[in-house]
Amino acid sequence: MSNYDLKDKVALVTGAGRGIGKQIAIQLAQCGAKVIVNYCGSKEAADEVVDIITSSGGIAESLQCDVSDFIETKNMIEKITDKYEKVDILVNNAGVTRDNLMIKMSEDDFDLVVTTNLKGAFNTIRHLYRNFIKLRAGKIINISSVSGVMGNAGQANYSASKAGMIGLTKSLARELASRNICVNAIAPGFVETDMTKKLSGSAMEGAMQMIPLKRFGRPEDIADMVTFLASEKADYITGQVICVDGGMSI
Amino acid sequence: MLEKIAQIIEEKLGLDGVEITEKTRFKEDLNADSLDLFDLVMEFEDEFGTEIPSEDLEGITTVGALLDYIEKKAG
């Protein structure tokens, strides 16, 4: 059982069907939060996350929505606030990669990555803005990336989107601080997920050399930071980028 | 109507014993920033059952202007 008490809190985790988002959803539910497991593609995967949560006594439901679509996101948020009346915790985790050298990067590859990762975060926050102002409380946690902090060759699009999330986080933290709403970003390093499984053997080795702690992160490492930031233990932390990366960004 | 609006403004901005008239200016007289105004507008929306788009906020600088706006909307 987790240390943090999130009982009666409602959490929306985007891209929660797999990888880091899945673990975040599970651990928020373990802390007592009601969790909306948002997914874009696979209903099966999302329902499996819901099953994991409900079978251990938690409350969760899956909701399909492509967060890169402004109107679709609006509809999803309305559905959630109609049913649960509020959202206390928003985790913008949905993200995609289309890695390539810039010379070979298509316009579509750039647009897709920025629209999903960065605009997706804008969309959810924009439609939950009134909700948070009314609550005069809340936690917004944006899952950025070490790639957005340090840059990464072959990831100009991804890195730009994740650096953009950091700017979004800091500006919004200033904008909403007077209403007791905390906005933070987490910058994971390499984490064992489907996303990093795509890396080639040599890329994997290269990555390992850059990590002082000499191991890839686990989704739990990121989810632990999310549950902390979502809890009242982190009430005095806002506008920060917390690198959970095994020391990569030192 | 003015009384109701004044009451909401006092509550939301945590004012006490400030006289609120139609001439009262949000920024200069009440020290309300743009987020305060947005906050007030949401409260008025609930109270008067009308929707006030954020764009319309720009031109509303005094309590009187807000009163007119809501009356027009509701009317």
The continuous run of DSSP H or E covering A92 comes out as: strand A89-92
CB atoms within 10 A of CB B24: 18
Asked whether residue A175 is assigned to any structural domain, the reply reads yes
Asked whether residue A207 is assigned to any structural domain, the reply reads yes
Complex prediction ipTM: 0.78
**Are B38 and A133 in contact (CB < 8 Å)?**
yes
Asked whether residue A144 is assigned to any structural domain, the reply reads yes
* pLDDT tens figures, A132-178: 999 999 999 999 999 999 999 999 999 999 999 999 999 999 999 99
The whole-angstrom distance between B9's CA and the closest CA on chain A is 15
Asked whether residue A2 is assigned to any structural domain, the reply reads no
DSSP state of A118: I
Residue from A138, A123, A127, A122 nearest A171 by CA: A122
Confidence (pLDDT) at A237? 98
The whole-angstrom distance between A133's CA and the closest CA on chain B is 7
Q: Where are the domains of chain B?
A: 2-74
Q: Residue B41: its chain A contacts at CB < 8 A? A: none
pTM for this entry: 0.92
Residue A86's domain spans which residues? Answer: 10-244
Asked whether residue A250 is assigned to any structural domain, the reply reads no
Q: Name beta bridge partners: A39.
A: A64
Of all residues in chain A, the percent with pLDDT exceeding 90 is 92
Number of structural domains found in chain A: 1
The CATH architecture that domain B2-74 belongs to is Orthogonal Bundle (1.10)
* pLDDT tens figures, A54-104: 999 999 999 999 999 999 999 999 999 999 999 999 999 999 999 999 999
CATH code of A231's domain:
3.40.50.720
CB atoms within 10 A of CB A217: 22
Asked whether residue A38 is assigned to any structural domain, the reply reads yes
Asked whether residue A208 is assigned to any structural domain, the reply reads yes
Mean of the pLDDT values across residues A2-22?
94
Buried b (16+ CB within 10 A) or exposed e, A174-193: eebeebebbbbbbbbbbbeb
**Are B42 and A178 in contact (CB < 8 Å)?**
no
